[in-house]
Amino acid sequence: MKTTTKLLAAAFTAAAIFFGTNVNAQSTPKSALRFGVGVEGLLPTGNLRDVSNVGIGGTARLQYGVADNLALTLTSGYYNFFGKEIVSGADTKYPSVGLVPVKAGIKAFISQNIYLSGEVGAGFETRDVYEGQDGKDVKLIASPGIGWANQKWDVGARYENFSGQSNNYGTVGLRIAYGFGL
């Protein structure tokens, strides 16, 4: 019982500090543009796990500060999900799955350097994910996230859901980016 009480007290204290901190700095000041280039580590979820275990990506993000703690974002790049072996020990693999995301979003700084984000957009598949499809699909992307950013670095984690054409999947991503003002 004492351990539970201590954990609850620590959680409430951390929450009070986290939400009680003044928000007076972020990576995109009001009316300023920033540009960031990032690398992404991706873990497939849903149907995509059938054909891939891991992915990597590269993205570019443009940010515009609309308030001292709020920025609009536009993100695009390329994701590659490496095909996994069809049968363990065999030389045959599923083909890699490529996707070009184009997303618009928002970053809301809730504390010094800590933000919540949300993005929506389209994902353009560069090849058929499964054999027998009529062509490359365009997926609706919805992506909530959380991150830490300062004047140069942005580290964020998110979940992306890709839906459409009866083949829905997702990815858990970690983005590390370097940014600069324009």
- pLDDT computed for residue 27 by the predictor: 60
Tell me: pLDDT of 132 over 90: no
Q: At residue 105, what is the residue type?
A: G
Higher pLDDT, 170 or 166: 170
Tell me: pLDDT of 110 over 80: yes
Tens-place pLDDT, residues 58-84: 999 999 999 989 999 999 999 999 998
The architecture that CATH gives domain 30-181 is Beta Barrel (2.40)
Domain boundaries of the chain, sorted by first residue: 30-181
Handedness of CA 130, 133, 137, 139 (dihedral sign): negative
- Read off the pLDDT band of 8 (50, 70, 90): very low
In the structure encoding, which two tokens stand for residue 49, read together?
Answer: 């796990």
